[in-house]
C-alpha cells in the first residue's frame, strides 16, 4: 500500500533531472574553485612584483646617492683638476673663469690707494712720508 506516495529510497522520474543538476552544481563549484585559485595566484604574483619594484627603486636611489657623492669628491680632487685643465684652455678663458668665481681681485696698487694713504696720514697727524 503506497497511497500514491513513493516508497522510501525508491527512485522516481525526477532523479534523472536531479543527477544532471548535481553535475551542473559540481562543475560550477569546480569552476569557482579554479577561479579563486587563479585569483590568489595572480594576487601573489602582483604582490611579489610590487615588492620587487620597491626593492629596485631603493637600490636605484642608493646607487644615485653613491654616484652623486663620488661626483662631488671627484670635482674637489686636485689631481682631477690638473688632469681636466688641458692645453686647450686659453689663459684668457682661465682668467675669466677665475674672475667669475671671484677668485681673482684687481691688481695692486689701486688708483685711489695714494689718496687713501694721504687722508690717513693727515687724519692721524703723521708728519713726513709716514715711514719710521
Local confidence pLDDT in tens for the 132 residues of the chain: 556 666 665 555 566 777 788 888 999 999 999 999 999 999 888 888 888 889 999 999 999 999 998 888 877 777 766 666 655 677 888 888 888 888 887 777 788 888 888 898 889 888 887 666
Provide the pLDDT for residue 88.
64
Q: Is residue 96 part of a domain?
A: yes
Q: Is residue 88 part of a domain?
A: yes
Q: Is residue 69 part of a domain?
A: yes
Q: Is residue 29 part of a domain?
A: yes
Q: Is residue 111 part of a domain?
A: no
**Enclosing domain of residue 42:** 17-105
Q: Is residue 117 part of a domain?
A: no
Q: Is residue 21 part of a domain?
A: yes
Q: What's the pTM value of the predicted model, to 2 decimals? A: 0.34
Q: What angle do CA 77, 78, 80 make, to 5 degrees?
A: 65
CB burial readout 75-88, b (16+ within 10 A) else e: eeeeeeeeeeeeee
What is the C-alpha separation between 74 and 81, in angstroms, rounded? 9
Q: Is residue 8 part of a domain?
A: no
pLDDT in tens, 79-106: 766 666 655 677 888 888 888 888 887 7
Number of domains within the chain: 1
Amino acid at each position: 500500500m503506497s497511497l500514491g506516495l513513493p516508497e522510501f529510497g525508491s527512485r522516481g522520474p525526477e532523479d534523472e533531472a536531479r543527477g544532471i543538476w548535481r553535475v551542473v552544481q559540481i562543475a560550477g563549484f569546480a569552476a569557482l574553485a579554479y577561479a579563486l585559485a587563479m585569483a590568489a595566484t595572480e594576487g601573489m604574483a602582483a604582490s611579489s612584483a610590487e615588492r620587487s619594484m620597491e626593492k629596485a627603486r631603493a637600490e636605484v636611489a642608493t646607487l644615485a646617492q653613491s654616484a652623486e657623492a663620488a661626483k662631488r669628491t671627484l670635482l674637489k680632487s686636485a689631481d682631477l683638476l690638473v688632469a681636466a685643465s688641458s692645453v686647450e684652455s686659453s689663459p684668457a678663458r682661465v682668467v675669466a673663469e677665475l674672475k667669475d668665481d671671484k677668485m681673482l681681485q684687481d691688481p695692486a696698487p689701486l688708483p685711489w690707494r695714494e689718496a687713501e694713504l694721504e687722508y690717513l696720514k693727515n687724519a692721524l697727524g703723521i708728519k713726513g712720508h709716514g715711514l719710521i
